[in-house]
Structure 1
């Protein structure tokens, strides 16, 4: 990449310098955008940030720009949007330390450790970088004069990557809590739906999948193929409310076709953004897992999905045997 365009001379230290190169990328249709909050009392900063990041894309998701022109206004925006991923924050606004006070509010009072905070200042002498980084829980520190278009893109990109990792870990933690809670009583109640749901949430979080996933007991359907009713064991995302017996035509046509193909061929099948995993136990219990993905599946992803379906099928078989003994 040619970096010769990145350097521009600016006379005003509060002016954000932009390189001329556009950032290419297509926003994924229907994908929920990342929320980016710009906190600055200068209108020009909001304008050039929009222009610089207009075509931004990460994981098929663009940006939703939120603006606040003071620290007080930023507090209101954050209350209304707790899922803000990145904040580009000015230091000097209502007061010389308005931005730093807002950082304290976000981390201590809102207890929001996930949002990535990038401090931007046009007056570096007001807030020395070393002092700010060591005393405040921020994730990056930039002088406005060094933020060219490409560097601004890189800063937001790496910040969102970090936010995505933290978010995935948090979702995984929630799923693990469900598994732990359900495991304590799983063999007493003989109800493993919560267990399966928790593990399903863990899987989608760990693999950075979309939240849409459904675990299916196919044995009942195969016994009566003319009925075309599925036994849903657990679902997340758009499949969350599909629990118990569900008509096959309740799903989107593309999903139905993929499930039918796997049931006919009795083997797993995949495409660019989905995976349908198939497993049959020794006793003949057949289960499917349908998951959607943001990107193409890797080999480790596939191995984890296949292992998940295998272990769930074995757990389900064990419960069925216990119920038979009871």
Structure 2
């Protein structure tokens, strides 16, 4: 046994001094896979500029998407549009509108107040003298500075394409970072439903971001999977994008499962990966428009396997909670039974003792033996009840230790005295050579219970006229108490079971002593409660 020793600002708002780099804030609308158009904001107080820009970019396409234009005639109007549409990809902004610096104030509003670092901002001015190019580029977080006269159709097309491409790439990085944050945050708590949902959402974000997946994607878990239409499958929880972002209907769920058991998913370019728990399908990763390479599919399957492991952890946790509740009930009834039996048994033992003392001269040998056996049985029963009550207290978390500085040598000597009545009839000598060990913080009563139990076991299974030796040694921050006997030994197959409840080694006591099979379990729990460990 080992114990551990316990001892009002200017009109133009310039950038502030350099600050440490901060993670980019994540906006839910960034590169939303449910969107079919790139959103572009035109901010200018000249109606002709709006009309010319629309006409020049009417055939614009990037990454299989066209443009949806938003128009603002002032900085104030643009601010309201930006609040309502955080997924605008690019904004072309005039400088001089309702005020001489309205466009620059709008840039600061976007970057600082909205915290939107993904939208690409292009300053497009007809009065370059009001906002010199070098000054604006150095003092404002923009992505381009153009004079209106320098943007014919071809250059306008190229400028916007570059801006939207940058927005897409930044948004993918943002989505992946946010997805990874969700996974890492949820990982330590995958025994709760909400962290598992967050984990699923993070996995979906990584899949979409890394592999450019399509519109409608879903990860879900169900109570049961029905292969036919005779029963309905119900979701336990899910995470989705596109049309699955807000809810998943029973029809959607059953259609997805039906697709899994047919070739339809291949024809529709639908990827369906089952989530298997204990050899049973309990959910799916569902991806539409899944034109993926073998390498990408391999990585998606790895992510799906992690989702299945998260579900398995959740299932195991709830199974453990159910078992703990059953164990609490068992402890409650066991404690009640043991407590109610202790008093009657104590009375029986007292009556036997009274008869033995008062009628000793009138009893014949056979009657005296009956009373002795009855007393022995009563002692065994009371010992069993005491052990049961200790087990109940320990498993219920109610083992409160009263720690005090304790002289371990004195405690061992008291324990030896307590078991001398067991050793003397078998002529077993208990040897202990006291050593100087600094006092330890212990619950002396509980630790004596451990030492007495170990000594009692040694005596119980030792042959008469042998020696039991107890020793104490100190190593670094640990104190080791060892009990050694010259008994029969313990079969190798039984060593690993010794600290399990009601398990007895395949060895008989040498004097007919009884065992409850609980003593070593209690020793282990008490030792561990002190921060130590016990072994054979």
TM category, shorter: 0.7 to 0.9
**What corresponds to 2:57 in structure 1?**
53
- The answer to which structure has the higher helix fraction is 2
Asked if 1 retains the 8 angstrom alpha-carbon contact of 2:193 and 2:314, the reply is: no
Give the superposed CA RMSD: 3.4
**What corresponds to 2:288 in structure 1?**
292
Asked if 2 retains the 8 angstrom alpha-carbon contact of 1:196 and 1:233, the reply is: no
The 1-side partners of 2:192 and 2:73 are apart by 56
- Counting only pairs closer than 5 Å after superposition, residues 167-316 of structure 1 correspond to structure 2 as 167-187=171-191, 192-210=196-214, 212-217=216-221, 220-221=224-225, 226-229=230-233, 231=235, 233-237=237-241, 238-242=243-247, 247=250, 249-250=251-252, 256=255, 259-264=257-262, 270=266, 274-278=270-274, 280=276, 283-285=279-281, 287-293=283-289, 296-316=291-311
**What corresponds to 1:23 in structure 2?**
none
The 1-side partners of 2:291 and 2:150 are apart by 35
Give the direction of change, closer, same or farther, for the CA distance of 1:163–1:227 in structure 2 (3 Å limit).
same
1:38 to 38, 42, 46: 42
Give the direction of change, closer, same or farther, for the CA distance of 1:100–1:281 in structure 2 (3 Å limit).
same
2:315 to 307, 312, 320: 320
1:122 to 116, 126, 145: 126
Please report how far the alpha carbon of residue 137 of structure 1 lies from its aligned counterpart in structure 2 after TM superposition.
0.3
Please report how far the alpha carbon of residue 188 of structure 1 lies from its aligned counterpart in structure 2 after TM superposition.
6.1
Please report how far the alpha carbon of residue 189 of structure 1 lies from its aligned counterpart in structure 2 after TM superposition.
6.7
Give the direction of change, closer, same or farther, for the CA distance of 1:56–1:204 in structure 2 (3 Å limit).
same
Asked if 1 retains the 8 angstrom alpha-carbon contact of 2:274 and 2:281, the reply is: no
Normalising by structure 1, what TM-score? Answer: 0.73
- Counting only pairs closer than 5 Å after superposition, residues 128-167 of structure 1 correspond to structure 2 as 128-167=132-171
Asked whether 1:87 is paired with 2:82, we answer no
Asked if 1 retains the 8 angstrom alpha-carbon contact of 2:43 and 2:92, the reply is: yes
Asked if 2 retains the 8 angstrom alpha-carbon contact of 1:218 and 1:288, the reply is: no
Normalising by structure 2, what TM-score? Answer: 0.47
Secondary structure at 1:320 match in 2: helix
- The answer to which structure has the higher strand fraction is 1
**What corresponds to 1:69 in structure 2?**
73
Asked if 1 retains the 8 angstrom alpha-carbon contact of 2:182 and 2:198, the reply is: yes
2:104 to 93, 100, 104: 100
The 1-side partners of 2:84 and 2:197 are apart by 33
Please report how far the alpha carbon of residue 93 of structure 1 lies from its aligned counterpart in structure 2 after TM superposition.
2.6
Asked if 1 retains the 8 angstrom alpha-carbon contact of 2:200 and 2:238, the reply is: yes
Give the direction of change, closer, same or farther, for the CA distance of 1:190–1:319 in structure 2 (3 Å limit).
farther
Asked if 1 retains the 8 angstrom alpha-carbon contact of 2:39 and 2:90, the reply is: yes
Asked if 1 retains the 8 angstrom alpha-carbon contact of 2:221 and 2:238, the reply is: no
Asked if 2 retains the 8 angstrom alpha-carbon contact of 1:119 and 1:141, the reply is: yes
The 2-side partners of 1:72 and 1:241 are apart by 32
Unpaired segments ≥5 residues, structure 1? 1-29
Give the direction of change, closer, same or farther, for the CA distance of 1:218–1:263 in structure 2 (3 Å limit).
farther
Please report how far the alpha carbon of residue 140 of structure 1 lies from its aligned counterpart in structure 2 after TM superposition.
1.2
Unpaired segments ≥5 residues, structure 2? 1-33, 324-536
Please report how far the alpha carbon of residue 308 of structure 1 lies from its aligned counterpart in structure 2 after TM superposition.
1.4
The 1-side partners of 2:109 and 2:316 are apart by 54
Give the greater-gyration-radius structure (CA): 2
Give the direction of change, closer, same or farther, for the CA distance of 1:270–1:133 in structure 2 (3 Å limit).
farther
Please report how far the alpha carbon of residue 46 of structure 1 lies from its aligned counterpart in structure 2 after TM superposition.
0.7
Give the direction of change, closer, same or farther, for the CA distance of 1:53–1:232 in structure 2 (3 Å limit).
farther
The 2-side partners of 1:77 and 1:91 are apart by 17
The 2-side partners of 1:292 and 1:186 are apart by 27
